[in-house]
Amino acid sequence: MANLKVTLKKSLIGRPKKQHNIIKTLGLTKKINSSNVIPDTEITRNTIKRVEHLVEVEEISE
C-alpha cells in the first residue's frame, strides 16, 4: 500500500477556517514546508483536493 507525503507550500493567512481545519486534520502545522506522511486512501485524496492549491503531494511506495 502506498503512502502520500503532504507538504504545506503556501500560507494560511486569509484562508477560510474550513481550510485551516483541513490542514490540521492532515497533520500539518501552520508553518510552511511542514510535512506529514499519511496513508493513501480515497478519503485522504478527497480531503487533499480541497486544499490542493496550498499543498504539494508526493506518492511514496513501500
Instruction: Work out how many domains the chain is built from and give that number.
Output: 1
pLDDT in tens, 2-50: 999 999 999 999 999 999 999 999 999 989 999 999 999 999 999 999 9
The answer to whether the predicted template modeling score (pTM) of the entire model surpasses 0.85 is yes
Give the model's pLDDT for residue 27. Answer: 95
Give the model's pLDDT for residue 30. Answer: 85
Structural domain span for residue 42 = 3-60
CATH number (domain holding residue 19) = 3.30.1390.20
Q: How confident is the model at residue 1 (pLDDT cuts 50, 70, 90)?
A: confident
* Exposed/middle/buried for residue 40 (C-beta within 10 Å: 0-12, 13-18, 19+): middle
Helices (H) and strands (E) in the chain, counts: 2, 3
**With pLDDT > 70 as the criterion, what percentage of the chain qualifies?**
100
User: Alpha carbon of 40 to those of 16, 37, 46: distances in Å?
Assistant: 25, 9, 10
